[in-house]
Structure 1
Amino acid sequence: MTESLFVPVQGHRLHLRRQGPEAGQPVLMLHGAISNGRTFYSDSGKGLGPFLAEAGFCVYVADLRGRGLSEPRIGRDAGHGQLESIRDDIPALQAFIQGRHGGAKVHWLAHSWGGVLMASTLARFPALADGVESLTFFGSKRSIRSWSLERLLKVELVWKRLAPRWVAKHGYLPARAKKIGADDETAGSLAHSIAWVNKGPWVDPQDGFDYGKAAAGVDWPRTWLLAGKGDKTLGNPKDVALFQQEMKAQGELTLLGRSGGFRRNYDHLNMLVGEDAATELYPLVLAWLRR
């Protein structure tokens, strides 16, 4: 059984797709930039979300403000950025889920930029870590320091140069219409992510909060970062490792590639949606959550 739940936050309704037994341990899944919760599920029942639900977890897949089925949709008048996701939305989702489960600890899973947002939330509100059972981040990096042709095209050209021009014209980033992503982004989110993708300190571009400094005071939940050996830019293994160092989290880091015994050198997306991922990675995630 699946159902759509909505969490009200500051005039927005954040969508949560819930699946699995109500009595199961809760899992919160968060997508990355220019994306939505469908990173973790499909209408046909495929994806990591349905897999974990079938295994007995109560899975909540989130859509950030304006993305997926959250309301209202992103448009020209959308004034929020990534600070609202960090400061307001993720804590609200955590409180909502714990309220439904008697205060039980929640497993947090994220893809790409979603991991940066989740880690930033815990750095800003370290007390929240008491309610988090584990962190599992797929291809999450804060800054991109590695160089490749893919970086030149996707980051330097599209993200840093073309995307701001599209924002100036439309008032937001129409990523779906431009066919560069599964969902749109606000002007604020784009600007803030560009500031962090550039090599520099982990400091909030909007209010100056120093996440890097605050991270030292977090009692991090057990943490697992996964990086695809075939991911040259958006989650380059070296950048993922640097992000783990920034978090100051003594967790595990797994390189998903043939040299590690996997069937392929995974890239940024097929570590979650590929057929090989479903048969060889999903069971590893399940074992990690049950550990």
Structure 2
Amino acid sequence: MTTETVRAADGATAHVLFHRQPDEPSAPVLVCMPAMGTRAAAYTPLAEALGRAGFQVAVGELRGQGTSSVRVGRGVRYGYHEMVAYDYPALFRAVGPPSRGPALPPGHSLGGQLGTLYLSQEPHMAAGAVLVGAPSCHYRGWPFPQSLGMLAGFQLAAAFASVYGYFPGRRIGVLGNDSGQVLRDMATQVRTGRYQVPSSEVDFESALAALELPVLAVAVKGDAMAPPGGVRGLCDKLTRARVTYWELALGDSVQGSRHYGWIRDNAALIDRVRQFVNHG
């Protein structure tokens, strides 16, 4: 495993964790972006297992998290637009041209959502996508009464972040610290079901509908943060993509949140990804 620093067009930097296959430079490259409030280093067990399975792996970092040079605080403003327009292109430039091996971004949760928005603009940068626990955050994708909790919770979080100057997730024990704009962007999608990014002129809904890449969408059974209805909600936007939907069952020994348990209990997922790569 090696670490490289990537620089976005606006000057922001972050470390990318690479696991390359020097003997097989044309092996598929799995490009992973983390969930909201989650450091790239948390995916090391997955990256190592994928490397042993013969894949090349690049684990990026969401803006404001982990090794990102952007530090969350009052007056620091960034949202979906900055991550899609700057951070994802920088990561894919670091991965290199498709001749090195077809890139298949496996994005987790928010990392998968934003990765899909990026690919809707630059579909030539990947041979397909693997989305794990990556839902549309529209509240109707959650069963009642959790759906109302989603709707109210994110509107309150966005309002609080606007007043406080940022979202202090670590202090209140919910996700991590993040920009108020990220919370406002997410709250909009929770409420409307549409990816309407105020700071971007891109019509992401039309772009998602036009995306034609093969997609493996994985819902983890028992994952309350990305239930099947939410994962299918994102799939439903990809009307021209060749979507394979699959539900992953984790072992009984998995402790803690099912939203993250697959990072270590990864054998079944890796087998399914291998099938997707070979036949997709």
* Interval containing the TM-score (normalised by the shorter chain): 0.7 to 0.9
RMSD: 2.6
Shift of 1:162: 4.3
- Give the superposition deviation at 1:66: 2.0
C-alpha separation between the residues in 1 aligned to 2:100 and 2:42? Answer: 27
Matches within 5 A, 1:98-113: 98-99=96-97, 102=99, 104-113=101-110
| 2:22 aligned with 1:34 | no
Which of 128, 148, 156 is matched with 1:134 structurally? 128
Change (3 A) 1:163 1:242: closer
Unaligned runs of 5+ in 1: 42-46
* Alpha-carbon separation, structure 2, partners of 1:215 and 1:66: 25
What amino acid is aligned across from residue 52 of structure 1 in structure 2? L
Alpha-carbon distance in structure 1 between the residues aligned to 2:157 and 2:126: 38
SS in 2 for 1:214: helix
- Decide whether aligned partners of structure 1 residues 79 and 28 sit closer, same or farther in structure 2, where only a CA change above 3 A counts: same
Which residue of structure 2 lines up, in the alignment, with residue 15 of structure 1?
15
Which of residues 251, 256, 274 is equivalent to 2:243?
251
- Is 1:95 paired with 2:89? no
1:167 offset after TM fit, Å? 4.9
1:147 maps to 143
State the SS of the aligned residue for 1:226.
Answer: strand
Q: Give the Å deviation of 1:139.
A: 1.2
Instruction: State the aligned residue count.
Output: 270
1:253: Cα distance to partner? 0.3
Q: 1:228 to 1:75 in 2, by over 3 A?
A: same
Match of 2:155 among 129, 154, 160: 160
| Contact 2:210–2:238 (CA under 8 A) maintained in structure 1 | no
Please give the per-residue CA displacement for 1:21-50, whole angstroms capped at 9, x wherever unaligned. Answer: 243432210112222313422xxxxx2111
Question: In 2, Cα distance between the equivalents of 1:103 and 1:217?
Answer: 26
Partners of 1:50 and 1:288 in 2: CA distance: 19
SS in 2 for 1:253: strand
Assess, with a 3 A threshold, how the Cα gap between structure 1 residues 120 and 219 changes in structure 2: closer, same or farther: same
Corresponding residue for 1:284?
272
Q: What residue in structure 2 maps to residue 80 of structure 1?
A: 78
Distance 1:18 1:204 in 2: 31
One of 62, 65, 78 as aligned partner of 1:64: 62
Residue 289 and residue 91 in structure 1: after superposition, are their counterparts in 2 closer, same or farther (change >3 A)?
A: same
Alignment of 1:189 onto 2:192: no
Give the partner amino acid of 1:9: A
Q: TM-score, normalised by structure 2?
A: 0.85
Give the one of 225, 233, 238 matched to 2:229.
Answer: 238
SS in 1 for 2:105: strand
Instruction: Give the superposition deviation at 1:285.
Output: 2.5
| TM-score, normalisation: structure 1 | 0.82
- Note if 1:198 corresponds to 2:191: yes
Residues 66-91 of structure 1 show CA distances to partners (whole Å, capped at 9, x for unaligned) of 21111132222311111111122212
CA contact (8 A) 1:33 1:113 kept: yes
